[in-house]
Amino acid sequence: MLTRAKFPELWLATAVLAAVGSIGAPDAVAQPKEKVLRAAMHADVRTVDPFWTTQTIAAIHGLMVYDTLFSSDINLDPKPQMVESWTVSPDRKVYTFKLRDGLKFHDGTAVTSKDVVASMNRWGKRDGAGKQLMGYTKALTAKDAKTFEWALTEPYGLLIDILAKTGTSIPFVMREKEALVDAFSQIQEVVGSGPFMFKRDEWVPGSKTVYVKFKEYIPRKEPASGHAGGKVVKVDRVEFIWLSDPQTAQSALVAGEIDYLENPAIDFMPNLKKTPGIKLEVHPAMGTMGILQLNHLHPPFNNVKARQAMYYLINNADYLNTIAADESLQTLCFSYFGCGVSMETDAGSEPYKGAKNIARAEQLFKEAGYKGEPITILHATDHQYINPANLVMIQQLRKAGFLKLDVQAMDWGSVVSRRAKKETPAQGGWNIFITGTTVLTSSSPVTHTSIGMGCDKAWFGWPCDKKFEDLRKDWAFAPDIAARKKIAVELSKRAYDQVPYISFAQWRNPVAYRSDRLSGVQTMPSVPPMWNIETK
Amino acid sequence: MTAYIVRRLLATIPVMVVVALFVFLLLHLTPGDPAAVIAGDDASPADIEAIRRKLGLDLAIWQQFVIYVGNLLRGDLGTSIFSNLPVLTLVKQRLEPSLVLAVSTLVLAIALAIPMGVLAAWKARSWIDRVVMGFSVLGFAVPVFLIGYLLIYVFAIELRWLPVQGYRPLAQGIEQTARSILLPAIALSMVYMALIARMTRASMLEVLSEDYIRTAHSKGVATIVVLLRHALKNAAVPIVTVIGIGLTLLISGVVITETVFNIPGLGRLTVDAILKRDYPIIQGLIILFAGAKVLVNLMIDISYVFFDPRIRY
């Protein structure tokens, strides 16, 4: 109890206690004895089931813990990973795969064909490309412990490419026990056969996720290349530390408290570039493509002329200079499939590449029947690049002078919810929202969800064009890359004609790491590999 | 006194019921959909609907509320939609960093602000008073994140004395914990110090003009004794009240401080849950925060008895 006599002494004592500082104490980061790689990723591992959500961070977690049948190498070409060998029937409808020796789950049990079949079935219920593949699948059968057969209804040419896909929803192999869990429910146990084991007891969602080396993992003999080749783990432990504040994240890297920063904010690049011991690296296909999504269900953008008119108002360079001021990160890209990738093409973009033409845009809007109705824009104000992109777009549209805008500011979570509404803007729907996709996702017409024009089955905005969808299907069935490139040109022309969305820019997102502490870092778009990295 | 405490505790029940209802309705009427966040950007509307069904978000709001209240009455705060972990487990993981930060901030603020306020009142209208009040205005005006970044730049980046970010649990040793919490506690305590110092000064000025203080001086009692025993104790009730009110400020400040210094506490858990629309976590945390606020108010009211014997319940 506080007494008359004790009260002043008490606060004096607390003052002394509070003043007992640690100034001059040794450096904050005690070096652990084991080799630890501390990485700050773009998001927090909040969900440990990589099929349950298509968030990229779930794929990054998945790649640590699970293994894949095929993987993309540094050039994004598919290479076998868990598969030892495979054959294709002459009619290209039956693929027979054999698993390589020594594959083991973290619980010590062997990986079998039954695990593979169950995993592919679960993945095929959630992933867009997986769903398409399953649509052409006649039967997926385990022949023996190490052999399985994939029979197709038609000679679908993308089977291997899709099994090697990276980005979101990678087709990982789980134990049959987890793979039989409903695809819309989360699995409870995380037991993979990948190079790292998940430490559930150290997992603090929203703060830290820990992985330790799986000592019984047998890497392939080939050198590591992207996600392919030998996954040789050279550290004992990897810690994903969630640093939600970009300023703090870059400070932590500069101070050496973390070794790897997956997604440094573009504003801090100049600072990181000049800091000794820090290196910035980028993969050619590593980047973001801005999407200005138009709603095809309601006026004015239910009329193709209004959609085309938007191209005469949007100046890509303005977005790039705002989002990624560093010119080395900018790509003035007019390819719907991204630039720096095999399907890059700007076919059909010719009318829109010149100076902006407000008079032409106004004329097209008039022809589309626009009479000054408010255009509802869902403006996400809490997103790193979507907010500035919205500000640029609003400025450009206001500058045109003939459009009436109804700008509705909200957080990104609200945009995600609101964009699903098909009602008219007056009834809670929308006309425009801005989002983005990775260059990797957009590089294939099959995985590029937002370019699809499948009407009711299409992405938000619901573009509808049968010719375009037929071309997409042709692309998927093309026998080789040359044939695919040819079809990609046709797809691009049709996209510029129909305008499913406006692609406003492409910019690169390098990773930053302590080159004085790490070696063997490989960059890959969206999902960075953590094996092969050595700590000094 | 016991009857008063029991009455106050019983009165918290309707408060908590109103809080639960208000939070539930506010969350479910606010735009945003966890199913859409889970499904990801490339998901089809059909996928989002399937996830919504699995999570029970397709049920009518009143049905969801009945389930929520039923769980609450069983002491079950629910399970995080994303991590699939019980909310209580997540709270337990985050409780220590938040408590250590809050207590350190309180100790730091009280230990420095009260002497500052006493000094300012004693030397009223002198340069000391102006410096203390100037600091107080600054403490209110400068946002906590800016102070945080400045402290990081000076003490962690330039001088390398303290870590930029992170929290070291008490289990790793008190020194490690103190080092990890010092900068966040300083940043967070600034506004709190400003508040307490101003209130202490105002309250002390009032008491120092009382006759009994003049009497004490004329009796030859030492100034320090007059200030601390005669004046400060009698000025304590409003100061204690403002410390209690300041706890609300502390909760909101913790959210920002924990983000800037990457402290894995309850503040960050709240913000992350709101951004992801993880309803069970948000609901559980607000119930806990409201309960803590009610209890703190009760403790403050009880503490008046010790400072002013005239107060009786």
What residues have CB less than 8 Å from B212, skipping those under 6 apart? Answer: B230
> Residue A379: what pLDDT?
96
Q: What are the tens digits of pLDDT across the range A426-469?
A: 999 999 999 988 888 888 998 888 899 999 888 899 999 999 99
Question: Does B46 have pLDDT greater than 80?
Answer: no
> Do residue B48 and residue A207 have CB atoms under 8 angstroms apart?
no
Distance of CA A210 to the CA centre of its chain: 21
Percent of chain A predicted with pLDDT > 90: 73
More confident residue, A84 or A438: A84
Per-residue pLDDT, averaged over A15-28, amounts to 39
Per-residue pLDDT, averaged over A474-499, amounts to 94
> Residue B54: what pLDDT?
80
Closest CA to A32 of A260, A232, A238: A238
> Residue B24: what pLDDT?
85
CB A509 within 8 A of CB A211: no
Q: Which of B42, B83, B269 sits opposite A449 (nearest CB)?
A: B42
Q: Tokens 């629309």: give the residue.
A: B277
> Do residue B111 and residue A19 have CB atoms under 8 angstroms apart?
yes
Could you write out the three-class secondary structure of A12-68?
HHHHHHHHCCCCCCCCCCCCCCCCEEEEECCCCCCCCCCCCCCCHHHHHHHHHHCEE
Question: Does B77 have pLDDT greater than 90?
Answer: no
A387 to A41, A330, A355, A414: CA distances (angstroms)? 21, 18, 25, 14
> Residue A119: what pLDDT?
98
Band of residue A6 on the pLDDT scale cut at 50, 70, 90: very low
More confident residue, A85 or B41: A85
CB A133 within 8 A of CB A152: no
As a CATH number, domain A287-508 is 3.10.105.10
For the ranges A26-35, A303-312, A360-369, B271-280, which has the lowest average pLDDT? Answer: A26-35
Q: What are the tens digits of pLDDT across the range B79-127?
A: 898 898 999 999 999 999 998 998 999 999 999 999 999 999 999 989 9
> Residue A19: what pLDDT?
39
Interface check A15 vs B, CB under 8 A: yes
Mean residue pLDDT across chain B: 87
Task: Please tell me what DSSP assigns to residue A401.
Answer: S
Per-residue pLDDT, averaged over A325-332, amounts to 87
Q: Which of B84, B107, B271 sits opposite A14 (nearest CB)?
A: B107
> Do residue B40 and residue A168 have CB atoms under 8 angstroms apart?
yes
> Do residue A18 and residue B112 have CB atoms under 8 angstroms apart?
yes
Domains and CATH numbers, chain B: 93-266 (1.10.3720.10)
Q: Tokens 């939609």: give the residue.
A: B81
Cis peptide before B34 (omega within 30 of 0): no
Q: Which amino acid is at A516?
A: D
Q: What are the tens digits of pLDDT across the range A353-390?
A: 888 899 999 999 999 999 999 999 999 998 889 999 99
Q: Please state, in angstroms and rounded to a whole number, the distance separating the CA atoms of residues B226 and B208.
A: 9
More confident residue, A204 or B16: A204
Interface check B173 vs A, CB under 8 A: no
Q: Is A101 helix (H, G, I), strand (E, B) or coil?
A: coil
Interface check B65 vs A, CB under 8 A: no
Q: How far is B126 from chain A (nearest CA, A)?
A: 24
Question: Does A7 have pLDDT greater than 50?
Answer: no
> Residue A25: what pLDDT?
39
Interface check B90 vs A, CB under 8 A: yes
Phi and psi at A159, nearest 5°, equal -50, -55
Per-residue pLDDT, averaged over B132-142, amounts to 91
Closest CA to B98 of B307, B223, B202, B253: B253
Question: Does A222 have pLDDT greater than 60?
Answer: yes
Band of residue A21 on the pLDDT scale cut at 50, 70, 90: very low
Task: Please tell me what DSSP assigns to residue B15.
Answer: H
Q: Please state, in angstroms and rounded to a whole number, the distance separating the CA atoms of residues A409 and A379.
A: 5
> Do residue B180 and residue A8 have CB atoms under 8 angstroms apart?
no
What residues have CB less than 8 Å from A463, skipping those under 6 apart? Answer: A296, A452, A453, A455, A498, A500, A501
Band of residue A146 on the pLDDT scale cut at 50, 70, 90: very high
Residues of A in contact with B269 (CB under 8 A): 206
Band of residue B41 on the pLDDT scale cut at 50, 70, 90: low
> Do residue A54 and residue B39 have CB atoms under 8 angstroms apart?
yes
CB A430 within 8 A of CB A419: yes
Nearest residue in A to B103, CA atom: A18
Closest CA to A431 of A321, A322, A532, A301: A301
CB A454 within 8 A of CB A180: no
Task: Report long-range pairs for B135-143 (Cβ below 8 Å, ≥24 apart).
Answer: B135/B193, B135/B194, B135/B197, B136/B193, B136/B194, B136/B197, B136/B198, B137/B194, B138/B190, B138/B194, B139/B190, B139/B191, B139/B193, B139/B194, B139/B195, B139/B197, B140/B191, B140/B194, B140/B195, B142/B190, B143/B256
Q: Please state, in angstroms and rounded to a whole number, the distance separating the CA atoms of residues A358 and B47.
A: 40
Q: What are the tens digits of pLDDT across the range B87-98?
A: 999 999 999 999
Q: How many helices (H) and strands (E) does chain A have?
A: 16, 23
Residues of A in contact with B178 (CB under 8 A): 22
Question: Does B204 have pLDDT greater than 90?
Answer: yes
> Do residue B41 and residue A254 have CB atoms under 8 angstroms apart?
no
Tokens of B164: 């930029």
List beta partners, residue A435: A291
> Residue B249: what pLDDT?
65
Q: First-to-last CA distance in chain A?
A: 56
Band of residue A23 on the pLDDT scale cut at 50, 70, 90: very low
CB A507 within 8 A of CB A288: yes
Given the candidates 3.90.1150.10, 3.40.50.620, 1.10.3720.10, 3.40.190.10, the CATH classification of the domain at A36-266+512-535 is 3.40.190.10
Q: Which of A77-86, A345-354, A523-532 has the highest mean pLDDT?
A: A77-86
What residues have CB less than 8 Å from A108, skipping those under 6 apart? Answer: A216
Pairing of strands A172-173, A67-68: antiparallel
Q: How far is A219 from chain B (nearest CA, A)?
A: 30
Interface pTM (ipTM) of the complex? 0.81
Task: Please tell me what DSSP assigns to residue A420.
Answer: T
Tokens of A363: 């004329």
Q: Which of A11, A47, A208 sits opposite B110 (nearest CB)?
A: A11
Q: How far is A24 from chain B (nearest CA, A)?
A: 6
Q: Can you give the residue ranges of every domain in chain A?
A: 36-266+512-535, 287-508
Q: Which amino acid is at A443?
A: S
What residues have CB less than 8 Å from A390, skipping those under 6 apart? Answer: A377, A379, A380, A381, A407, A434
> Residue B262: what pLDDT?
94
> Do residue B48 and residue A420 have CB atoms under 8 angstroms apart?
yes
Interface check B45 vs A, CB under 8 A: yes
> Residue A9: what pLDDT?
41
Mean residue pLDDT across chain A: 90
